[in-house]
Amino acid sequence: MTHTVRSPLFTGPLRSPLRIQNTFANESFMDELCARAGADPVAFRIRHLRDDRIIGVLRAAAKAAGWQAGPRRGPAPGGEGVARGLGIACVAYGGHNGYGALIADVDVHVATGVVHPRRYIIAHDCGPISNPDSLRNQIEGGLLQGTSRALVEEVTWDERRVTSVDWSSYESLHLDYDVPAIETVFVTPSGVPAAGAGETSITLVPAAIGNAVFDATGARLRDVPFTPARVLAALRDAGSAG
């Protein structure tokens, strides 16, 4: 869980300022429980949930992805190989302000530590939809921003000050980034009020990618962003590095 600390530094707006950290912690831990229990991550979550709407998005995402039930964890190939894995994460954003489940299909380049998402499948429930194209754009934009925060964005500082102060020192995804394929599934229960969609998809990305890396390699990532150096360190700890 996270807690808020009053900052002595200038701050500004940020999408999903607290929920993204909580969801990363919660859904990574849930994935660890699944691995320890030898359980399928989708079925295990559903078995311990009571909210029909979050169960609904989990089932919809799994169906769209052609999810194969079973425990997740595969050894990474050695040397120059690429390991591929699937990870899932879900959230009831703000309690009842939007529901989402994301499956990330990810490549892990074992020799370099580079993580590259190949495909995202997301199921989203925000109640009635008035503009499907706009909602899809909102979801896709959140996924890309979440990818940037999961893989490269990081505030840095020295003993005196913050050092990531411009677009040269604070990295984000570049315009030539190889964007993963995105499939969006709208889940629209009847008789429910409209809910939010502005920050639901971004909240899921680090957890889903981290769980996919574990599925591919057996390495558990606990610090965001997932830089190559951190991935290689996790691979060494898991005994999977080439």
Q: Which amino acid is at 165?
A: V
- Residue 178: half-sphere exposure toward Cβ, Cα within 13 Å: 8
Q: How far apart are CA 212 and CA 1, in angstroms?
A: 22
Structure confidence at residue 191 (pLDDT): 94
* List of E strands, 158-231: 181-186
pLDDT of 113 strictly over 60: yes
Determine contact, residues 27/89, Cβ cutoff 8 Å: yes
> How many other β-carbons are positioned within 10 Å of the β-carbon of residue 155?
10
Which comes out higher in pLDDT, residue 208 or 18? Answer: 208
Q: How far apart are CA 147 and CA 92, in angstroms?
A: 20
Quickly tell me which residue has 């919809």 as its tokens. 60
Structure confidence at residue 5 (pLDDT): 79
Reported as a single tens digit per residue, the pLDDT across 132-180 is: 999 999 999 999 999 999 999 998 889 988 898 888 899 899 989 999 9
Instruction: Please give the model's pTM, rounded to 2 decimal places.
Output: 0.91
Interval 5-25 mean pLDDT: 82
**Which are the catalytic amino acids?**
199
Q: Which amino acid is at 131?
A: N
Q: How far apart are CA 139 and CA 15, in angstroms?
A: 13
Reported as a single tens digit per residue, the pLDDT across 185-233 is: 999 999 999 999 999 999 999 999 999 999 999 999 999 999 999 999 9
* List of E strands, 3-81: none
Reported as a single tens digit per residue, the pLDDT across 77-105 is: 555 689 999 999 999 998 789 999 999 99
CB-neighbour burial class of residue 96 (10 A; exposed 0-12, middle 13-18, buried 19+): middle
pLDDT of 115 strictly over 80: yes
* List of E strands, 126-170: none
Reported as a single tens digit per residue, the pLDDT across 26-75 is: 999 999 999 999 999 999 999 999 999 999 999 999 999 999 887 766 55
Angle between helices 200-217 and 19-37 (to 10 degrees): 30
- Maximum alpha-carbon separation in the chain: 55
Q: Dihedral angle at the C-alpha atoms of 70, 207, 129, 190, nearest 10 degrees?
A: 50
CB-neighbour burial class of residue 49 (10 A; exposed 0-12, middle 13-18, buried 19+): middle
Q: So what's the architecture of 19-156+169-233 in CATH?
A: 2-Layer Sandwich (3.30)
List the structure tokens of 207.
């957890």
> How many other β-carbons are positioned within 10 Å of the β-carbon of residue 15?
16
